[in-house]
Structure 1
């Protein structure tokens, strides 16, 4: 292992990507794998360490997306690798749904300890974020004996049938799959930069959303006594890294408690210190009844979890299960992730670095008119690009160009929403490497605004 001080500060491009080896892999991928997902650019990964990614042609990249928000403690984290390797030699699988093993119990205890839910609490293990959402739907309906669920426009909760029924981020994610799960209602989400109610005050925007739910959904559509849960992302991820006004979740909590409706916080992308807290909902002092998580929980091994108070986590034996959920290898990896985050104080580090990145990006709004809005918490940061600040016309084509040019330069950055740059590096990233990457983002935005050609590194 390299010492932290010797880690790369800049990428290294030795052949313009995609190189010849990458092109061969891509050709076979298109031949043999169903192309039901859209890639951001033609990156073919060979290996990765911490915040550095290497492709099959020898190019070295700085990672600003963490494998889609998964690698919070860095790629191939030594503590995680050691724990998983040791467990692989001991026990790979024996199905928690039918038997018992210590590794899952130990992890569940740690998750209950860090989760901001009412105690006593219990855990259900899954294999992915979508599975965690599916389990949350079943838990909510079963424990309340109510059928309706209210989700929010702009949300992304996954692509399995229940999860995609809650999702309302992009039409393509739902196109062709109807009929979807019944009794799902979508409410507007308080998006401060583009408030659906055409008000400028963010707090007023949140108030309008709460008022809409009370007056129009509860007043015209469904009695609140039939609503099982509000399901929400505390910071909308795929929808554009949207941070709601500070009064929204406290008011939503009051509304939920008034009518006995559960609060389900989708922390699949925002959890495990991504925002500077173990779970993003903690920024607003709200205690959800259920937390759905996955992604960063096991540093890349397939694992998810639902954590909820004991009253809600009440499905009777046989009512829900998962053959691989709580797999012992993934469980010990997740335990190592939690230990590493605590030891290295990564929540505090994410908050500190995030504040520095946000300040630089907000300063950059004076340097380029293409940056319409900068928002985020911790190292979950969105930079919304616009063609005109007055009209706020999204710069969606320009977003694609920025991301491709950054890829050619050796920075792995992806988008969110219609025209938002998504900044979510490993929480372990070297500070100088991070700020160099931020400068590269600003530089490419300004170059595109000036219509300058790409000058990638060789």
Structure 2
């Protein structure tokens, strides 16, 4: 886009209002028009630089417009842009072969699709076909997609917009409660799971869960939790679907977040970081379960040459730059800094949680409305200071830090300094004036 084509933030906002559905929102009161990106930075229409600590919700893990990746994307565009899976092409089989080397356990069969929602939908279909059962178990406050079935297993009310969702879904309490210890919260969730399995385990196809709930507020369960979940599910022949849409490909310090728990799921779903901004997603499983998806099928865009070539470049870059190890190291630095800020603002930063470079800081200012308003004010000022961060959580009051994994210690230091200044200013303005 050249300068003559840049219409400016007000014109973009006006066109969105005129042509988009009302559901399409944006974070800021004064939102910039982003026109260019380079690794961990993006630039607005006025040339202002922002350090991106959200990465398009965990998407551009390898950085915006990373030349090591985009050059291979462009090359493939110039060779062969599109076929469907009914033709033989090399990039998608090379990608499937490469994924086998990084997927946990015996997971080696891959079906390529376009988005995380479609990957989860396909995984749930596979579970039904393999088990011959219809029902699902899901965690409260999870997010799995915008299709009817994935929305049905989504436990966040703001994302359950369809009034006619699948009724064969049972929700159990998630392994988190600020009033309980992590062990107590995990045990309560496991008791819920035991009860559901005892009552109707023979009707349940699978349990679907995010290893770390992203939109639910960066919830990392106790590390024994999913081992206990898998043991219980196996007793009833219920499959475990790991939704690694946000957590996959190095973000949490391991290639896949389930590795933290020492668990190999029956089916794993992936998207976001796999394409670094190019739409590509997949669900993978072992040979035995894969045999159940055997009637003729195809995916028009899934695994197309451009997305597959891009994903191969992504995996090469992750390996060459050791991004999981980098996320673990830099994530520890960011967590340490956030905990220091929590000690400085103990009544405002209620909790710091997550893993690797998938961290959340929960803010408190009073009731739910005040908490959300404070979070929005922090996002607005951090944007003005040149840092883009996200928000999530049940009450939309958790600052979300999910940057490109190519950020530096200097970036983290600048972010923490800006966040310190932002909180100090906001709290000083909110404090009652001293009597004269």
Report the TM-score when normalising by structure 2: 0.93
Secondary structure, counterpart of 1:395 in structure 2: helix
2:142 is matched with 155
Secondary structure, counterpart of 1:189 in structure 2: coil
1:179 is matched with 164
Distance of 2:115 and 2:423 partners within structure 1:
34
Secondary structure, counterpart of 1:450 in structure 2: helix
* Counterpart selection for 2:310 from 325, 333, 343: 333
Assess if the C-alpha contact under 8 Å between 2:173 and 2:188 holds in 1: no
Closer/same/farther in 2, CA of residues 451 and 319 from structure 1, 3 Å limit: farther
Closer/same/farther in 2, CA of residues 393 and 59 from structure 1, 3 Å limit: closer
The correspondence of residues 50-449 of structure 1 with structure 2, limited to 5 A, is 50-96=39-85, 98-119=86-107, 121-169=108-156, 171-175=157-161, 177-192=162-177, 194=178, 198=179, 200-215=180-195, 217-219=196-198, 222-318=199-295, 320-368=297-345, 369-387=347-365, 395-417=371-393, 418=395, 419-449=397-427
Assess if the C-alpha contact under 8 Å between 2:330 and 2:408 holds in 1: no
Query: RMSD of the alignment, in Å?
Result: 1.9
Distance of 1:136 and 1:420 partners within structure 2:
29
What runs of 5+ residues in structure 1 fail to find an aligned partner? 1-18, 454-458
Closer/same/farther in 2, CA of residues 181 and 322 from structure 1, 3 Å limit: farther
Distance of 1:395 and 1:363 partners within structure 2:
20
Secondary structure, counterpart of 2:207 in structure 1: strand
Closer/same/farther in 2, CA of residues 394 and 212 from structure 1, 3 Å limit: farther
Distance of 1:442 and 1:129 partners within structure 2:
35
The correspondence of residues 35-46 of structure 1 with structure 2, limited to 5 A, is 35-41=22-28, 42-46=31-35
CA shift at 1:434, angstroms?
A: 2.1
CA shift at 1:393, angstroms?
A: 9.3
CA deviations on 1:231-265 (whole Å, 9 max, x unpaired) are: 00000011111111122111101111111111110
Secondary structure, counterpart of 2:127 in structure 1: helix
Report the TM-score when normalising by structure 1: 0.88
What runs of 5+ residues in structure 2 fail to find an aligned partner? 1-5, 432-436
Secondary structure, counterpart of 2:32 in structure 1: coil
Assess if the C-alpha contact under 8 Å between 2:84 and 2:298 holds in 1: no
Assess if the C-alpha contact under 8 Å between 1:372 and 1:392 holds in 2: no
CA deviations on 1:96-131 (whole Å, 9 max, x unpaired) are: 1x1221100000011111111425x20000100000
CA shift at 1:452, angstroms?
A: 6.5
Assess if the C-alpha contact under 8 Å between 1:385 and 1:394 holds in 2: no
Closer/same/farther in 2, CA of residues 394 and 274 from structure 1, 3 Å limit: farther
Secondary structure, counterpart of 1:425 in structure 2: coil
CA deviations on 1:330-356 (whole Å, 9 max, x unpaired) are: 101000100001101111000000011
CA shift at 1:387, angstroms?
A: 2.5
Secondary structure, counterpart of 1:246 in structure 2: coil
Distance of 1:242 and 1:392 partners within structure 2:
19
